[in-house]
């Protein structure tokens, strides 16, 4: 397992290198002069020159590239043009809300979809199964923002139980943190729940007729244990991949949800920075989001190996 | 100990009712070995699983008959009672050792589960000791180390040994082995059969061994049941079945066995024709479409099992003498065919 972990960690290095190249090129492949784009049409030649100097755009591109890589390695992502703060600081300040949102969504996803899947599988011979299939299909096909608006209308306007906008950091108390986050996190989770529950159900139904399950039943083990231990453990393996993609999907979803619920997270920062043409921050955010994405994939792979001894012992 | 009376196990499928087991009676005595032999699709596995009601219901259902285990009808037991019987009184091992162990748990845990299910009070150390003991009994080398290994780290033969250890965990009174060696190499087959014999000596377990290969049970069974299309068509001692064969299907099975004293070219490799359709079985004797001795009579009535000697029964309209004559005539005709 240790060897596997080390191998997987090493394989991340080239991926992150390529990501940083792409993020670097983001600025240089955009048509037009970034400094000109940032400052707008009416800017003077001098101020453009000055900004180019500040951004290092006047140096040869190869030098710029090595500077960029060197800066990343030292944790320096440049300065925000808008606020003049270091980009790392800007991103760090916005990290809490996004992380909270994703974490709570993930908890929602797991806490809702696991019992549903087990319940549906236990009731597989009843009418419940086709009903579940229909609902889960519906859940997968519903657009996120549509469902979000529906929930906002239901629980924010018609029955105003939850706030529809804003965020309270956890430092101000777990309760208000949760209070603000429940609705957006639920909306974010809702789209994935159908998919994950469906994946788990399929995996369990597949495993339920396997020879090894018959062996367990022949031991005299009760059916609930057969389902929740043996069948579930095997169904987790194919589901892990989907959970990984789902978490990556959450990352994208946060951009929409944060804007919709005015949560000051990374997603909102990205949108704001695009409006402000704050190139260093855009670059930083894209780089960080990519890094998180790669990290999630790495974690999924490790989890995969943890769950499946056939991979762990190769 | 086990008495099966006129048992029917049918399967309700989309294409119709499969009469997989269709009126079977037999008994198993404590400590004895029964061999159940028949072609693929004759209903052996369905019969085996029905003894502890392991077949998923639906599609399986039990329209008729009883399974008396120690005097009580298994078919009438509650789910809880059934769980107490499974593994504890009646254990099973299956055909495919490669897929019969859960890939995500180590083998130690899978054997422990078999013990724990029926003995919740045993201390952890005792369970551990018992697992090592079982693994030693079934001939797994270096059990202390291998206890933490996962199924994929074992060969097919070793996995079957692990499955036998699981089956023996609670010292069952009856062990049902459904084609335990079919998926294994010939040399490993012999080792596993040897192991089962040893186990029987040590544990005094009764064994039902199911196979499509008469050769497998020749050395180990006290009694052989020949199954065809969900029925028992002949039953008797190994000697009866091999040397006083009274039923054309058994005879065909024997002729399909590889033998040293017969030239390969004269060997009937397989029995002609398709195994019967269990949804719409043929009228009369179920073997009649494939039987070399078929007569108009056979299409009309389905012959019941009749006595052919002490503890030897067969289901055929031909008496032993008639069958003997018909056989000779056929063999002579075949020889002529070969030489001309
Ligand atoms: N779950 C099921 N659903 C539908 N039909 C089934 C099912 N299980 C078994 N059958 C049918 O029941 C009949 C008997 O099957 P069974 O598995 O008992 O045969 P078998 O003698 O064990 O054969 P094999 O040597 O191939 O294991 C076959 O015709 C098979 O197609
Ligand atoms: S009853 Fe007729 S068809 Fe059936 S086995 Fe005997 S001879 Fe053959
Ligand atoms: Mg079978």
pLDDT digits (tens, 9 = 90+) for B122-132: 888 999 999 99
User: Mean of the per-residue pLDDT values for chain A?
Assistant: 85
- Indicate if ligand 2 lies below 6 Å from the C-beta of B248: yes
* Contact B294 CB / ligand 2 (< 6 Å): yes
pLDDT for residue B226: 94
Which DSSP category does B120 fall into?
S
Model ipTM?
0.86
In terms of pLDDT, which residue wins out, B258 or B117? B117
**Rounded mean pLDDT of A243-251?**
85
Rounded average pLDDT over B214-230: 89
Confidence of residue B310 (pLDDT cuts 50, 70, 90): confident
- Both structure tokens of B77: 């037991």
Place of tokens 């073997």: B287
Nearest-Cα distance to chain A for B155, in Å, is 14
Domain ranges of chain A: 92-263
pLDDT for position B270: 61
Residue B90: strand pairing partners: B86, B174
Distance CA A283, CA A289 (A): 10
CB distance B318 to ligand 2 below 6 Å: yes
Q: Report how many helices (DSSP H) and strands (DSSP E) chain A contains, helices first.
A: 14, 0
First to last CA, chain A: 9
Q: Which fold has domain A92-263?
A: MetI-like fold (1.10.3720)
Q: What average pLDDT does this structure show over A55-69?
A: 81
Which residues on B lie below 8 Å from A238 (Cβ)?
none
State the distance from the centre of ligand 2 to the C-alpha of A195, rounded, in angstroms: 57
> Residue A235: pLDDT above 90?
yes
End-to-end CA gap in chain B = 55
Apex CA B264: angle with CA B260 and CA B267, to 5°?
A: 95
Question: Is the Cβ pair A313, B150 closer than 8 Å?
Answer: yes
DSSP classification of residue A86: B
Spatial contact of B91 and B172, defined as CB atoms under 8 Å apart: yes
Do the beta carbons of residue B276 and residue B269 sit within 8 Å?
Answer: no
What's the rounded Cα separation, in Å, for the pair B334 and B340?
A: 10
Phi first, then psi: what are they for A218, rounded to 5°?
-65, -20
Task: Please give the pLDDT value at position B261.
Answer: 57
In this predicted structure, what is the pLDDT of residue B204? Answer: 85
Residue B316 Cβ inside 6 Å of ligand 2? The answer reads: yes
A307/B102 Cβ within 8 A: no
| pLDDT mean over A240-264 | 86
Distance CA B282, CA B276 (A): 7
Average pLDDT over residues B247-271: 69
Average pLDDT estimate for A217-226:
91
Q: Which residues contact A195 (CB under 8 A, 6 or more apart)?
A: A136, A139, A140, A242, A246
Which ligand has an atom closest to residue B37 CA? 1
Nearest residue of A to residue B50 by CA position? A218
pTM for this structure? 0.82
> What pLDDT digit, counting tens, does each position of A185-221 carry?
988 888 788 888 888 999 999 999 899 999 999 999 9
H or E, element range at B11: strand B2-13
What local confidence, expressed as pLDDT, does residue B210 receive? 93
Dihedral of alpha carbons A280, A282, A283, A287, sign: positive
Give the number of the ligand closest to the Cα of residue B322.
Answer: 2
Q: What is the pLDDT of residues A118-129, one digit of tens each?
A: 888 888 888 888
- Please give the full DSSP string across A9-59, using - where no structure is assigned: HHHHHHHHHHHHHHHHHHHHHSSS-HHHHHH-TT--HHHHHHHHHHHTTTS
Give whole-number Cα distances, B281 to A280, B43, B251, B263, B284, in Å: 79, 13, 21, 35, 9
Q: What secondary structure does DSSP assign to B133-200, as a single string?
A: HHHHHTT-SSHHHHTT--GGGS-HHHHHHHHHHHHHTT--SEEEEESTTTTS-HHHHHHHHHHHHHHH
Tell whether A210 lies on the interface with B, counting CB pairs under 8 A.
yes
Reading across the β-sheet that carries B33-37, which strands appear in turn?
Answer: B90-93, B174-178, B206-211, B33-37, B223-228, B231-236, B312-314, B306-309
Q: Determine the Cα–Cα distance for residues B164 and B154; give it in Å rounded to an integer.
A: 14
Q: Which of B14, B94, B18 is nearest to B52 (CA)?
A: B94
Looking at beta carbons, which residues of chain B come within 8 Å of A218? 52, 54, 86-87, 91-92, 94, 167
Measured CA to CA, the distance from residue B212 to residue B179 in angstroms comes to 8
Using CA atoms, how far residue A24 sits from A84, A255, A276, B230, B248, in Å, is 20, 22, 19, 73, 83
Contact status of B83 with chain A (Cβ, < 8 Å): yes
Q: Are A203 and A238 in contact (CB under 8 A)?
A: yes
Sheet holding B72-73, edge to edge: B16-28, B2-13, B60-69, B72-73
- Minimal CA–CA distance to B11: which of B49, B66, B67? B49
Ligand 1 atom at minimal distance to the Cα of residue B38: 21
- Nearest residue (by CA) to ligand 2, atom 1, is B316
Backbone angles phi, psi at B23, to 5 degrees: 95, 70
The CA distance from A7 to the nearest CA of chain B, in Å, is: 22
From residue A142, give the alpha-carbon distance in Å to each of A149, A190, A194, A242, B94: 12, 10, 10, 18, 46
- pLDDT at position B338: 65
**Which pLDDT band holds residue B35 (cuts at 50, 70, 90)?**
very high
Average pLDDT over residues B140-153: 91
More confident position, B279 or B258: B279
Sign (positive or negative) of CA dihedral B241, B243, B247, B252: positive
**Per-residue pLDDT averaged across A133-159, rounded?**
80
Neighbours of ion ligand 3 (CB under 5 A): B 45
Q: Is B308 helix (H, G, I), strand (E, B) or coil?
A: strand
Q: Which residues, listed in sequence order, are joined to residue B225 by a DSSP beta bridge?
A: B36, B235
Q: Which residue from B minimizes the CA distance to A308?
A: B104
pLDDT at A310 over 90: no
Distance, in Å, from the CA atom of A271 to the CA atom of A205, rounded to the nearest integer, reads 43
Task: Give B2's strand partners.
Answer: B28, B69
pLDDT of residue A142: 74
What pLDDT score does B260 carry?
Answer: 57
DSSP per residue over B56-89, as a string? -TTTEEEEEEEEEETTEEGGG--HHHHHHHBTTT
- Tally of CB atoms within 10 A around B336: 9
Whether B265 has a pLDDT exceeding 60, the answer reads: no
Helix axes A144-151, A232-260, angle to 10 degrees: 70
**Ligand nearest to C-alpha B326:** 2
Residue whose pair of structure tokens reads 């944060």 in the numeric block: A258
The Cβ of residue B194 has, within 10 Å, a number of other Cβ atoms equal to: 13
A10, A11, A15, A8: which is closest to A311 by C-alpha?
Answer: A8
């Amino acid at each position: 397992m240790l060897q596997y972990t080390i191998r997987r960690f090493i394989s991340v290095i080239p991926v992150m290198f390529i990501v940083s190249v792409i993020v670097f090129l983001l600025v240089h492949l955009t048509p037009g002069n970034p400094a000109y784009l940032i400052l707008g049409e009416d800017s003077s030649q001098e101020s453009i020159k000055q900004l180019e100097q500040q951004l290092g755009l006047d140096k040869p591109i190869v030098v710029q590239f090595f500077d960029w890589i060197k800066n990343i390695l030292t944790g320096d992502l440049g300065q925000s043009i808008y606020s003049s703060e270091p980009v790392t600081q800007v991103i760090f300040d916005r990290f809490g809300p996004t992380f909270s949102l994703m974490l709570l969504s993930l908890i929602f996803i797991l806490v809702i979809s696991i019992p549903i899947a087990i319940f549906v599988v236990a009731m597989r011979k009843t009418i419940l199964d086709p009903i579940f299939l229909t609902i889960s299909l519906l859940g997968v096909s519903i657009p996120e923002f549509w469902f979000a608006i529906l929930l906002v209308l239901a629980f924010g306007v018609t029955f105003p139980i939850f706030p529809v906008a804003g965020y309270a950091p956890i430092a101000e108390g777990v309760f208000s943190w949760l209070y603000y986050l429940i609705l957006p996190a639920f909306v974010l989770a809702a789209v994935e729940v159908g998919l994950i529950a469906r994946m788990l159900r399929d995996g369990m139904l597949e495993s339920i007729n396997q020879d090894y399950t018959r062996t367990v039943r022949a031991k005299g083990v009760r059916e609930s244990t057969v389902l929740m231990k043996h069948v579930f453990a095997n169904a987790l393996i194919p589901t892990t991949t989907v959970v990984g993609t789902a978490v990556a999907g959450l990352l994208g979803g946060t951009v929409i949800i944060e804007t919709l619920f005015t949560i000051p997270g990374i997603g909102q920062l990205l949108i704001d920075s695009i409006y402000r043409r704050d190139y260093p921050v855009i670059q930083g955010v894209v780089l960080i989001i990519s890094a998180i994405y790669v990290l999630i994939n790495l974690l999924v792979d490790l989890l995969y190996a943890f769950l499946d001894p056939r991979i762990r012992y190769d | 100990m086990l008495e099966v009376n006129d048992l029917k196990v049918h399967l309700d499928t989309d294409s119709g009712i499969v009469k997989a087991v269709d009126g079977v009676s037999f008994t198993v005595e404590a400590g004895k070995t029964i061999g159940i032999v028949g072609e693929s699709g004759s209903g052996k596995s369905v019969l085996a699983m029905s003894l502890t009601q392991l077949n998923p219901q639906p599609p399986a259902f039990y329209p008729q008959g009883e399974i008396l285990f120690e005097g009580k009808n298994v078919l009438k037991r509650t789910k809880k009672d059934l769980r107490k019987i499974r593994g504890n009184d009646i254990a099973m091992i299956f055909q495919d050792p490669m897929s019969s162990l859960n890939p995500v748990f180590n083998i130690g845990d899978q054997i422990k589960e078999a013990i724990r299910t029926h003995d919740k009070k045993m201390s952890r150390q005792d369970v551990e000791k018992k697992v090592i003991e079982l693994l030693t009994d079934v001939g797994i080398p270096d059990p202390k180390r291998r206890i933490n290994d996962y199924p994929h780290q074992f060969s097919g033969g070793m996995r079957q040994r692990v499955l036998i250890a699981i089956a023996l965990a609670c010292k069952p009174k009856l062990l049902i082995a459904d084609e335990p060696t079919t998926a294994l190499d010939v040399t490993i087959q012999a080792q596993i059969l040897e192991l089962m014999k040893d186990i029987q000596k040590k544990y005094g377990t009764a064994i039902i061994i199911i196979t499509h290969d008469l050769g497998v049970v020749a050395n180990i069974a006290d009694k052989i049941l020949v199954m065809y299309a969900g029925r028992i068509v002949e039953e008797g001692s190994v000697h009866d079945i091999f040397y006083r064969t009274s039923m054309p299907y058994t005879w065909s099975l024997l002729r399909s066995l590889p033998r040293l004293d017969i030239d390969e070219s004269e060997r009937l490799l397989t029995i002609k024709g398709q195994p019967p359709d269990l949804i719409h079985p043929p009228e009369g004797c179920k073997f009649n479409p494939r039987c070399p001795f078929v007569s108009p009579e056979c299409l009309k009535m389905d012959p019941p099992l009749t006595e052919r000697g002490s503890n030897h029964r067969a289901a055929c309209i031909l008496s032993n003498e008639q069958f003997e004559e018909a056989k000779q005539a056929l063999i002579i005709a075949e020889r002529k065919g070969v030489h001309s």
